[in-house]
Amino acid sequence: MTEPLDLYDQAGAADRPRYGRTGPLRVRVPAKVNLHLGVGPLRADGFHELVTVYHAIGLYDEITVRRASTMVLTMDGEGAATLPVDEDNLVVRAVRALAARTGTPPSVRLHLAKQIPIAAGLAGGSADAAATLVACDALWGTGLSRDELAEVAAELGSDVPFLIYGGTALGTGRGERISPVLAGTRSWHWVVAAADGGLSTPEVYRELDRLRAAAQPTVHLGRNDGDLESPHDLLTALRQRDPEVLAAALRNDLQSAAVSLRPQLAATIEAGVAAGAVAGFVSGSGPTCVFLAADAASAQVVARLLADSGVCRFARPTTGPVPGARVI
């Protein structure tokens, strides 16, 4: 467990909101994968225009909040020891953003229990920010709607609004504009293969820009040339129930950049497919690889063979879609 962060704010008991709860209150939040990640050109604000289909999977972080007179944060679990325990921490930023939006003192005791690997392309930090918004809103009784929480979430990162909603959803803009999609009712079986070490998201985007600039004059890049197409095939596949059809429609424009920076990911993907996965791909900016399995039994086998093969740090079967940040 990390040392507690004690950020003093002048909030006495008399300043506390009259509604809400005393806690403890627990919020569970899932990781995400991108089933379609179309990356457009670099914008003037340093972000890339995206068209993405987010999908929440059953790998969770959990945040517990209690009333306090200051802000205190403790963390444990996956990668917690390497996270900043200061104003850069996304949990701290989320507390401050919700407090500012609602005129509430940013006073809360938080404990974050992590299972989602960090810097992994699974939006773990964004998930923690989304969970913090939902938890503090319930604790403080500030009563924001999910759409209002998503507005605050957009200030914190491109993936944060999606994790307020969960499920399967279309993301546009820099990824922060979320619209629901008709994705059918089927639950899909996935295997998450975590890598040793992380990849920096900005570096992966920069590598994609470099690859595109180097290739542009002579090489036809097919679908990876920065054109933003609608993910029509993927959305159609999600409404069918056939993993092979879904496999054929998966797309991640960041995959070539992640593999360029971490060539061994190609071997991880190969190993999962050899183990019986219907498809394997890099999750978001990586380095986590995700595999689609035909059914639960196949997901178990793929996870076991991947773990035994030594191409990943751990492999875990799971399902999706699952709901976003929720009080449990």
Tokens of 74: 């403790």
3-class SS letters over 131-174: HHHHHHHHHHCCCCCHHHHHHHHHHHCCCHHHHHHECEEEEECC
Task: Produce one character per residue of 41-50: b if its CB has 16 or more CB atoms within 10 Å, e if not.
Answer: ebeeeebbbb
The 8-class DSSP code of residue 282 comes to: E
Report how far apart the first and last C-alpha atoms of the chain are (Å, whole number): 23
Question: Closest CB to ligand C5P among 157 and 272?
Answer: 157
x/- mask, ligand C5P, residues 248-267, rule CB under 6 A, reads --------------------
The one catalytic residue among 128, 137, 159, 253: 159
* Active-site annotation holds for 233: no
Q: Applying CB under 6 A, which part among 139-147, 157-165, 240-248, 292-300 lies near ligand C5P?
A: 157-165
CB of 259 to ligand C5P, least distance (A): 18
Q: Which member of 165, 205, 281, 291 binds ligand C5P (CB under 6 A)?
A: 205
Q: What is the DSSP string of 178-194?
A: EEE----S--EEEEEEE
Helix axis angle for 90-102 and 146-156, nearest 10°, is: 130
* Active-site annotation holds for 114: no
Nearest by Cα to 33 from 296, 299, 280, 307: 280
CB of 157 to ligand C5P, least distance (A): 4
Query: Site residues for ligand C5P, window 77-106 (CB under 6 A)?
Result: none
Q: Applying CB under 6 A, which part among 113-121, 134-142, 200-208, 293-301 lies near ligand C5P?
A: 200-208
Q: Which member of 55, 93, 174, 262 binds ligand C5P (CB under 6 A)?
A: 174
- Long-range contacts (CB closer than 8 Å, 24 or more residues apart) made by 234-237: 234/35, 234/36, 234/53, 235/53, 235/181, 235/182, 235/183
State how far the Cα of 235 lies from the Cα of 157, in Å rounded to an integer: 25
x/- mask, ligand C5P, residues 38-77, rule CB under 6 A, reads --------xxx-x---------------------------
How many chain residues bind ligand C5P (CB under 6 A)?
12
State how far the Cα of 274 lies from the Cα of 289, in Å rounded to an integer: 14
- Is 202 a binding residue for ligand C5P by CB under 6 A? The answer is yes
CB of 117 to ligand C5P, least distance (A): 16
CB of 148 to ligand C5P, least distance (A): 19
The one catalytic residue among 9, 32, 209, 253: 32
Evaluate whether 208 touches 254 at the Cβ level (below 8 Å).
Answer: yes
Q: Which member of 78, 159, 207, 253 binds ligand C5P (CB under 6 A)?
A: 159
State how far the Cα of 124 lies from the Cα of 120, in Å rounded to an integer: 8
Nearest by Cα to 253 from 42, 31, 58: 42
Tell me the CB-side half-sphere exposure of residue 314, using CA atoms within 13 A. Answer: 9
Q: Applying CB under 6 A, which part among 135-143, 155-163, 219-227, 288-296 lies near ligand C5P?
A: 155-163
Q: Which member of 157, 166, 226, 243 binds ligand C5P (CB under 6 A)?
A: 157
Positions that interact with ligand C5P (CB under 6 A): 46-48, 50, 157-159, 174-175, 201-202, 205
Active site residue ranges:
32, 159
